[in-house]
Structure 1
């Protein structure tokens, strides 16, 4: 797709978010399988549900603009998923399960921060383009993503990091 206008860039960014969310969904499921803290597992389950909702919402927005959600592959999230594998999912060098839980949170939050940047940018573009319905949906996705990030911070500082130090 040629990008000549802000609208073109907006659609490209939405497709990037769609790809990023699909990749992070699979990684989050794998992170959940590796987690040992029940609180962390529950938060990752909620994260999985939130990512699924984001995928559907972004897919719907893209379709309203007569575009294909799959026209973009997010290389940024691809790298973050590789990092999640290296530092949590497949990290044979992490022997302590509490330390692994701390690493799972770190990797999940890196993916979440990418999502925050994507949703925030897309919502800003939507507002500038006068696409208020899109902007509201994207703002809701952004707020949900922020909420997931705050939950992980709370779990890390309240339970997981303390146990990883023991």
Structure 2
């Protein structure tokens, strides 16, 4: 697709972020299965629910613009998912708290990609005077940021301390 207008770029990035979210769900599920902290496992389940809601919002926005959200493959998220598997799932850990700290690290990297995507999309929507789209994307951005803050609280609230004592 040729990007001739900001609207073209906006639609392209909606699809890219949809792909990113779709790719991240499997690794978040996997990390949730191996997390030893109950609170972390619950946060990852909630994270996947948030990712799913974001995908629904992105699909709805694409459909409203006559576009199919599928077909794009986000190479950036592909790399982040590969890194998450390598550093949080496939690495050897001698301590469960250290693995949990690694899981938080990788989850937050995935989340920060989504935060950047939602923020850019919201700015594009606002510039294009797509106020309804902007509001939907702002909500997705806030929910994603809230999940990121919660992970930081888990890390600083005890997981990193336990990992440091390993």
Both proteins in one fold, TM over 0.5: yes
1:20 CA displacement: 0.3
The residue aligned with 2:72 is 72
Give the corresponding residue for 1:39: 39
User: Where in structure 2 are the equivalents of 1:1-166 lying within 5 Å?
Assistant: 1-91=1-91, 93-166=92-165
1:36-93 C-alpha deviation (Å, 9 max, x unpaired): 00010111111011000000010000011111111311000000000000001121x2
Structure 1 residue 99, shift from structure 2 partner = 0.1
Q: Counterparts of 2:144 and 2:94 in 1: how far apart (Å)? A: 30
Provide the rounded CA distance (Å) in 1 between the counterparts of 2:31 and 2:65: 34
Question: What SS does the aligned partner of 2:48 have?
Answer: helix
Give unpaired runs (5+ residues) of structure 1: none
Question: What stretches of structure 2 of length at least 5 have no aligned partner?
Answer: none
Aligned partners of 1:84 and 1:135: how far apart in 2? Answer: 30
Q: 1:86-108 CA deviation, whole Å, 9 max, x = no partner?
A: 001121x2221110000000000
Separation in structure 1 between the aligned mates of residue 114 and residue 55 of structure 2, nearest angstrom: 11
Greater displacement, 67-76 / 136-145: 67-76
In structure 1, C-alpha distance between the alignment counterparts of 2:113 and 2:149, rounded to whole Å:
14
SS at match of 1:55: helix
Q: Distance in 2 between matches of 1:112 and 1:105?
A: 10
Question: CA separation in 1, counterparts of 2:31 and 2:63?
Answer: 30
Please report the TM-score for the alignment, with normalisation by the length of structure 1: 0.98
